[in-house]
C-alpha cells in the first residue's frame, strides 16, 4: 500500500476528524479500531496536517480536549531546523519522533505566550504587616534559590534585606552586616542555570557547564570567596559572615536577633530540567512572535506558569536535577578547595561547616537520577514533550478564559 491508496486516505481523514473531535486513539491502532467512523477520503499526504501536529493534538486531547487548540496546533508549522511538516506513515506506525513534536510544541507555546495575560497577584487575606524590627542594615548574597528562600522567610519576620548589587544606589552608607549563603556547588550550578533560563537565552546544561570550566569561573552567586573579599575590603572582615545553609536559622538569630524556623529559610525550588529545557526552546521562538519591548514581561508571565506546573511534580518528567559529567567533577572539586582557601584568607566569620559543604558531592545529587555511568546528563526529549503538553494545556486554559488573541 502507498499514501495514494484509498484505504490510506480514508484512514487518515478519519483520524484527523477523530482528533479534531477530541479523540485519543493512536495512529497505529486507528485502522484496526472496529468502531472508527468511515470517512470518505480523497486527501493525499500533502493535503493532511503534519504527523507531528496530529500526534501533539492527540496527546493534548488525553489531558482533556480544548476545542480552541485543535486548529491552532494543526496549523502551526514546526520551528527550528528540519522538515516543516511530516507525513503520516503508511502502514501506520509511530507518527513522529519526540524531537519533531517538540519543534511544533515550542511554536504553539510561543504563540500562546504572545497573548498570555500577566498573572494576577495572589489573593491574600489582610493581616497586619510584620513589625519591622530595628537592627543593623544588612545584605544577603549567594546562590539565587537559596538567597530567595532566605530573603522571603526573613522579610516575613520583619528583617527585609537589599541585594548587594543594588546597595550602592539605594543606600547612602555601607551595610553594617553582610551575610553570604553557601550551598553545595553542584546544587548551586543547577540553580544558576535555571535562573539564567528564566531571564533570557542560555545554553544547554552541558554547554553551560563547559562554559564555566573553560572560563574557570563559577556563576557569580557561587563565587563566595570573591564576594567575601569584595565586601571585606569595603566593610571589614569582621562584618562579613559566611553561612552554611544548614546553620542559617542559628546564624540569623545570633546576627539579627530574629528567630525563624529553618523550614522557612529553605531554598526556592528551581525549575526542573524538563521545564528549563522547554523554557529555553520557547525563548528561542518568542522573538519571532512577541514584540521586543514585551519579551521580558511575557517571559515572566510564562515562567510564573512554569513554576506552578513544576510545583505539581510528575515523576514522568524525570529528575529534579541533572548530574555532572565525570570530566567536570575534578574541576568542581578544585573550585571547592579554592573557595575554602579564599575564605580562610579573608578571615571572615564562618557559621557551620562551610568547607565540607563546598566539597559535598552527595547531598546535591538528584535522588531520582540513577547512579554511575547511567546518570542523567541530558534532558530526554520525551520528558520535554511531556512538560510541553502540560504547559500548552495549562496556558491554553488561561488564554481561553480571558478570550484574547491570535493563536497560530
Residues 5-45 have pLDDT tens digits of 778 888 899 999 999 999 999 999 998 876 776 666 555 55
Specify whether 246 is located in the same domain as 294. Answer: no
406 falls within a domain: no
Q: Give the tens place of pLDDT for each residue, 42-55.
A: 555 557 899 999 99
Percent of the chain with pLDDT over 70: 84
CA-to-CA distance for 188 and 381, rounded, in angstroms?
24
Clarify whether residues 384 and 278 are in a common domain.
yes
Residue at 83 is within a domain: yes
- The residue with cell 562579613 is 240
Q: In what order do the strands lie in the sheet with 177-182?
A: 162-163, 138-141, 177-182, 240-244, 349-351
Residues 154 and 41 occupy one common structural domain: no
Q: In the structure, what pLDDT confidence band is assigned to residue 173 with cuts at 50, 70 and 90?
A: confident
- Integer angstrom CA distances of residue 363 from 187, 205, 367: 9, 20, 9
User: Is 245 found in the same domain as 301?
Assistant: no
| Position 1 in a domain | no
pTM score of the predicted model: 0.85
Residue 87 lies in a domain: yes
Same domain, 108 and 87: no
Residues 186, 281: one domain? Answer: no
Whether the pLDDT of residue 292 is over 90: the answer is: yes
**Pick from 23-32, 258-267, 291-300: least confident:** 258-267
Domain ranges, residue 311: 97-129+273-319+371-401
Shared domain check, 297 and 281: yes
My answer on whether 199 and 281 are in the same domain is no
Lowest-confidence range among 62-66, 142-146, 162-166, 397-401?
Answer: 162-166
pLDDT of 165 strictly over 80 = no
Instruction: Specify the pLDDT at position 118.
Output: 76
Peptide bond into 256 cis (omega under 30): no
What 3-state class would DSSP assign to 258?
Answer: coil
Q: What is the pLDDT of residues 313-329, one digit of tens each?
A: 777 788 888 888 988 99
Would you call 206 helix, strand, or coil by DSSP? helix
| Domain match, 44 and 148 both | no
Whether residue 73 lies inside any domain: the answer is: yes
- Identify whether 361 is part of a domain: yes
Query: Structurally, how many domains does the chain consist of?
Result: 3
Q: 185 pLDDT exceeds 60?
A: yes
Amino acid at each position: 500500500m502507498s499514501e495514494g491508496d484509498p484505504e490510506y486516505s480514508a484512514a487518515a481523514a478519519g483520524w484527523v476528524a477523530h482528533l479534531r473531535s477530541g479523540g485519543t486513539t493512536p495512529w497505529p491502532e486507528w485502522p484496526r479500531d472496529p468502531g472508527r467512523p468511515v470517512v470518505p477520503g480523497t486527501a493525499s499526504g500533502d493535503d493532511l496536517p503534519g504527523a507531528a501536529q496530529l500526534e501533539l493534538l492527540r496527546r493534548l486531547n488525553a489531558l482533556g480536549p480544548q476545542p480552541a487548540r485543535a486548529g491552532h496546533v494543526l496549523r502551526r508549522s514546526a520551528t527550528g531546523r528540519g522538515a516543516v511538516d511530516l507525513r503520516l506513515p503508511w502502514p501506520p506506525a509511530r507518527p513522529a519522533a519526540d524531537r519533531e513534536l517538540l519543534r511544533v510544541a515550542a511554536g504553539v507555546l510561543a504563540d500562546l505566550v504572545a497573548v498570555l495575560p500577566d498573572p494576577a497577584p495572589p489573593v491574600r487575606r489582610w493581616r497586619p504587616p510584620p513589625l519591622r524590627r530595628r537592627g543593623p542594615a544588612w545584605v544577603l548574597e549567594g546562590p539565587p534559590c537559596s538567597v530567595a528562600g532566605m530573603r522571603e522567610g526573613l522579610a516575613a519576620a520583619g528583617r527585609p534585606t537589599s541585594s548587594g548589587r543594588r546597595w550602592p544606589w539605594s543606600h547612602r552608607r555601607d551595610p553594617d552586616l553582610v551575610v553570604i549563603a553557601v550551598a553545595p556547588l553542584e546544587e548551586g550550578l543547577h540553580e544558576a542555570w535555571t535562573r539564567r533560563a528564566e531571564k533570557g537565552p542560555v545554553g544547554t546544561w552541558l554547554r553551560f557547564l563547559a562554559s564555566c570550566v573553560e572560563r574557570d569561573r563559577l556563576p557569580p552567586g557561587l563565587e563566595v570567596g570573591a564576594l567575601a573579599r569584595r565586601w571585606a575590603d569595603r566593610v571589614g572582615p569582621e562584618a562579613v559572615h559566611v553561612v552554611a545553609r544548614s546553620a542559617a536559622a542559628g546564624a540569623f538569630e545570633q546576627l539579627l536577633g530574629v528567630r525563624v524556623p529553618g523550614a522557612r529559610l529553605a531554598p526556592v525550588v528551581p525549575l526542573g530540567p524538563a521545564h528549563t529545557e522547554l523554557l529555553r526552546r520557547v525563548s528561542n521562538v518568542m522573538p519571532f512572535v512577541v514584540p521586543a519591548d514585551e519579551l521580558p514581561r511575557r517571559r515572566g508571565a510564562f515562567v510564573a506558569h512554569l513554576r506552578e506546573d513544576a510545583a505539581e511534580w510528575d515523576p514522568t518528567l524525570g529528575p529534579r536535577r541533572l548530574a555532572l559529567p565525570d570530566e567536570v567533577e575534578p574541576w568542581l572539586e578544585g573550585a571547592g578547595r579554592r573557595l575554602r582557601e579564599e575564605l580562610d584568607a579573608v578571615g571572615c566569620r564562618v557559621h557551620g561547616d562551610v568547607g565540607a559543604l563546598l566539597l559535598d558531592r552527595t547531598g546535591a545529587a538528584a535522588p531520582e537520577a540513577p547512579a554511575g555511568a547511567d546518570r542523567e546528563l541530558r534532558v530526554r526529549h520525551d520528558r520535554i514533550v511531556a512538560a510541553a503538553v502540560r504547559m500548552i494545556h495549562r496556558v491554553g486554559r488561561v488564554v481561553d478564559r480571558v478570550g484574547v488573541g491570535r493563536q497560530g
